[in-house]
Amino acid sequence: MTVYAQALHAALYGLPTPDESLPTALDSLLQATHTATAPERKTAVLRQVAEQLRNAAEIIQRYQYRAQWDRFPTDVAEQLATAHDQARQIAQALDRVAPPSATSPPRPVPRPPTAVPPPPWPPRPRWHHATADLPRQPALRERHLLAATDSLYALLAQPRCALGVFVPAGLHPARAERRQLDQVARAGADLFEIGLAHHDAGLDGPVIQAAYRRALSRGNVLARALRAVEHAAGLRPTVVMTYWDPVHRHGPEHLARLLADAGAAGAMVVDLPDDQAERWQAAAKDANLSTPRLVPRHLADTGLATVAAGASGWLYAPASTGPTGYRAPLDVPALADFTTRLRAESPLPVVSGVGISTRALAERVAPLVDAVVIGTPVVRALMASPEQAPVLTTAFAHALYPYATTETRA
């Protein structure tokens, strides 16, 4: 526990050891909140305080995940969750007190602590897509993105099979959606897949297509999706599921950056065209976004190797060759053979979904993969009886690890 606390302290304050109770750079910043008199200087100081809090919140969240995975006492994870929420709330309050002006961007690129800390400085221009001119120490945004991808990697590296839950964004008003995500996370979800609604979801079955139509009818599809991703990513590692058409319309580089800024650890384009794969992978890599790939069963070994080589995050092995919502028996031996082929081609984790419609099927698939994703059963509940979604999640969670408890999840 002591080593854990020391690591958190060092990560928050950039110190090799936790010997200092208050780092000098932070102390200087706090003193400036009392000595600054000019309005523009007060604004700059408030923005920097908010930036430090956001930085701390992201690091605390990362350690919150680790505390859960390492089975620390419940109160440790709860305290970390409370600290994370309070830091974000105070940062948001400071943003309202010192809102960004039209002429100066809101967030400076943080500087590493120095022996003689400089006084507070006005914000520097926000980074652009090219990163060659940034400092070698990762800026806040980059640390935030690395934390997101690290949390996904750490989750899928666990010896047990994780439970992923697919939720289409924009199905309900924002407040209700946040509440539903909270409930599903507490009920046993280890990771979220957030679906970006699309009018031609050809790989999905009627339930998810109907959910997408409802989300599309509400309008502001991308904005709603980004809000859902931001909230989900504050709860569990989150990957966005999308078709190529929205990526093409918004621009791969632009959309990858938006999703990463919202907190996504990755984005899987389920129908990624072969001739666009290189561009999408480059855009995602530039945004520090992983690119899981859905791998069709029919691919020959050469095609499988090509897909695996361009993937990151995970390889998705559909449990069924049909669309989502498939409810017929699964050919589990065929799935086992396919996952064996995938593992021979790539060290990436293997995730499975599509057709895992019951607890019994989840229990049979779990030994073959690193995560099982459920979609249609939960989406059906969210469409008709949202209060049943966490109940279903708990049932699937217990199927994957019968002795797990979901009552104390943060």
Catalytic residue among 51, 58, 177, 193: 193
Task: Confirm whether 58 is a catalytic residue.
Answer: no
3-state secondary structure the chain: CHHHHHHHHHHHHCCCCCCCCCCHHHHHHHHHHHHCCCHHHHHHHHHHHHHHHHHHHHHHHHHHHHHHHCCCCHHHHHHHHHHHHHHHHHHHHHHHHCCCCCCCCCCCCCCCCCCCCCCCCCCCCCCCCCCCCCCCCCCHHHHHHHHHHHHHHHHHCCCCCEEEEEEECCCCCHHHHHHHHHHHHHHCCCEEEEECCCCCCCCCCHHHHHHHHHHHHHCCHHHHHHHHHHHHHCCCCEEEEECHHHHHHHCHHHHHHHHHHHCCCEEEECCCCHHHHHHHHHHHHHCCCECCEECCCCCCHHHHHHHHHHCCCCEECCCCCCCCCCCCCCCHHHHHHHHHHHHHHCCCCEEECCCCCCHHHHHHHHHHCCEEEECHHHHHHHHHCCCHHHHHHHHHHHHHCCCCCCCCCC
**204 catalytic residue (yes or no):** yes
Catalytic option among 204, 345, 363, 370: 204
Write out the catalytic residue numbers.
Answer: 193, 204
